[in-house]
Amino acid sequence: MIVRTTYKKASLGFTLIEMVVTIVIVGILGVGISSFIANITKGMVDTAERSQVASIALLVSERISRSLRQALPNSIRTNGDCIEYIPIYAGTDYLSVPVLVSANQFEVAPFSNVNNGFSFSAQPLRVAVYPSSLTGLYSLSAGGVISSEISQISAGTTSNAQSILLDANHQFPGNSPTKRLFLVDEPNMYCFDSGMLYHYSDYGYKTTLPTSNLNNETVVGSRLSLGQFNYSPGTLQRNGVVMMQFDVLGEDDLKQTVNQEVQIRNVP
């Protein structure tokens, strides 16, 4: 007798319930992982945005502050949106300057950064003596605080002195009590306009604060709002103070407000 034994083949694969459960679990894990990655990415983006806003605020405030610290005493003038000043290039003490009579040559103690034979064609400079007030400082009159352009600096007749030669005769209105003399460059200006901060230079001396025909426009900062300059002139008790305020704007209503004071030397 032949006995036949049959074997039932085991079924392979997932049941429908197992597949549904797997899909649900994978979906939950996927949502969790994507949310985790999205939160990390958003955090990194927010951190980068805050860092950029802080960097703009620091760079703008430092640029303006460093420039204004080089301002000639009492040369600050502002209309709120713009601030203008006359930058100092060098300073020294003088032996004599033309006060009682007009002259185009006089002697000073040596400058630390202006040597004999300095090229004034490449760097036009003027002499300022005792700028005790803003009045007439930008007019460049023949009897004003600021002279005509310097044409030459050479060795003086006095030992270790330098001789300054002007393009034209000049008579200063008065002596400095400390016999202090400054070499000054052409006026510079910073202006807030339409969310930007601009810098202007080499546009010459203007009797009133200029608002047009300005040269060498460069962008100092962007994403700015509510920029404002205010100036409190110096007194016998303190230096002059420039107060500047502006907001730096970022994404998602991010805003950083900057309020900074810059002291302006008050020793003409």
What is the tens place of the pLDDT at every residue in 71-123?
A: 999 999 999 999 999 999 999 999 999 998 999 999 999 999 999 999 999 99
pLDDT for 16-35, tens place per residue? 777 777 787 877 777 767 77
- Average pLDDT for 201-224: 91
Q: What is the pLDDT of residue 18?
A: 72
Q: What is the pLDDT of residue 46?
A: 65
- Residue 170's alpha-carbon distances to 50, 103, 128, 129, 157, in angstroms, are 54, 5, 11, 11, 20
Residue 217 sits at φ, ψ, to 5 deg, of -75, 125
CA 85/CA 136 separation, integer angstroms: 14
Q: What is the pLDDT of residue 266?
A: 75
Residue 41 has pLDDT above 70, yes or no: no
Q: Which of 267, 104, 90 is CA-nearest to residue 170? A: 104
- Average pLDDT for 191-199: 95
Q: What is the pLDDT of residue 43?
A: 61
